[in-house]
Amino acid sequence: MTTAGTDSKKNRKLMQVLGGQVLPTPPIWLMRQAGRYLPEYRATRGEAGGFLKLCYTPSLAAEVTLQPIRRYGFDAAILFSDILIVPDALGQSVSFLEGEGPKLDPIQSAAELNRLDPSKTGTKFALICETVARLRQDLPSETTLIGFCGAPWTVATYVVGGEGSSDQAAARRFAYRDPKGFQQLIDILVDTSVDYLSQQIEAGADTVMVFDSWAGTLPDREFATWVTAPTARLVRELKKRHPNVPVIGFPRGAGSNALGFVKETGVNGVGCDTAMPLHDMRVLAKDAGVAVQGNIDPLLLVAGGEALDRRIDETLQAMRGLPHIFNLGHGIVPDTPPDHVARLMERVRAFAKVHA
């Protein structure tokens, strides 16, 4: 790395906040900032001929990652990919049918775990990492590049259920009936995710985020066993290889389990969902000493107008003096008007000047 390279890295605002700094204007990026609400995304997806083809074609995956950076100038780009790349690379082939979400051939007992083969992941992970490497070349030097994977629990809900569900019943049943067998599945996912995230970091990701979108359906004991403990092991193993790379957790729906999650996993930042009160976000930043990210309701971004302006201001005001990353509480939805995203950016960026 040249000296110039090291210096330009210092301008990455998201990295500064993950390191505990408080900035006058928080860095901003939005979950699912690349996606169907953008016409240019729909065009590139059409060119790729399918969602997975888009993920596995580095030139096109890099292009859709860059689209929202060009349009809005976010402080961070998130690799365009999906959490289901991990089961796909392990050999449980995944398909995305237009308008129907993901489909996998479900694994519902420990006896079927031999269908997952960690020695097979190389080729597919290499394609994703080629996207990461291209992005680091093409992004402005001040833009942070975020790599990611799904958390073991959330990925397991798809491996076992074979599709998305509102209650993750199939995985919960498996975990209650055969906790030892379910632990084997979780362990495979932890080990594979550590390798996968390490490869993304080695290809140029500055930080990594672990999405636990379905953490919220578990009772407290199971939350500790299937969300906190595997994430803690994942973070520990990753930090053995890459001690200086910050990790962002996203235990969506964790509620009052969030503080324990942050303390026990050792994450450097935590994504907060829409239901997390601003007061609790402040407590997380102060008592657990992490950067907090979130938590505007994506549907408020669809509605726009004064209600959105008010919530942006409230959030910025509440988080003043703390390490805060401006974001939504969950991903942008497809019917979001692109203009509303532009208005959000302007308002967040103007806040520090107005309130200086």
Amino acid at 279: H
Active site residue 70: no
The active-site residue out of 41, 75, 82, 233 is: 82
Active site residue 45: yes
Shortest spacing between CB 78 and ligand 1CP, in angstroms:
4
Q: What does 323-342 look like in DSSP terms, one character per residue?
A: -EEEEESSPPPTT--HHHHH
CB 294 within 8 A of CB 271: yes
The active-site residue out of 37, 41, 158, 196 is: 158
**Cα-Cα-Cα-Cα dihedral sign, residues 333, 339, 342, 343:** negative
If we measure between CA atoms, which residue out of 317, 315, 273 comes closest to residue 297?
273
CB 278 within 8 A of CB 311: no
What is the phi/psi pair of residue 242, to 5°?
-135, 75
CB 329 within 8 A of CB 296: yes
Residue nearest to ligand 1CP (CB): 164
Tell me the sheet residues that pair with 97. 101
Shortest spacing between CB 242 and ligand 1CP, in angstroms:
20
Shortest spacing between CB 270 and ligand 1CP, in angstroms:
15
Nearer to ligand 1CP, 31 or 189 (CB): 31
Shortest spacing between CB 84 and ligand 1CP, in angstroms:
6
Nearer to ligand 1CP, 211 or 223 (CB): 211
Shortest spacing between CB 1 and ligand 1CP, in angstroms:
26
Amino acid at 224: A
Nearer to ligand 1CP, 34 or 316 (CB): 34
Strand 247-251 versus strand 324-328 pairing type: unpaired
Q: Which two tokens stand for residue 6?
A: 């090291």
Nearer to ligand 1CP, 21 or 59 (CB): 59
Q: How far apart are CA 142 and CA 43, in angstroms?
A: 28
Active site residue 311: no
Which residues contact ligand 1CP by CB under 6 A? 31-36, 45, 51, 78, 80, 82-84, 96, 101-102, 148, 164, 211, 213, 331
Nearer to ligand 1CP, 56 or 80 (CB): 80
What is the distance between the terminal CA atoms of the chain, rounded to a whole angstrom? Answer: 37
Q: What does 27-69 look like in DSSP terms, one character per residue?
A: -B--TT-SSTTSHHHHHHHHHHTSHHHHHT-HHHHHHHHHHHH
Shortest spacing between CB 211 and ligand 1CP, in angstroms:
4
Active site residue 32: yes
The active-site residue out of 36, 173, 282, 343 is: 36
Residue 260 burial (10 A CB sphere; 0-12, 13-18, 19+): middle
Nearer to ligand 1CP, 101 or 337 (CB): 101
Active site residue 41: no
Q: Catalytic site residues?
A: 32, 36, 45, 82, 158
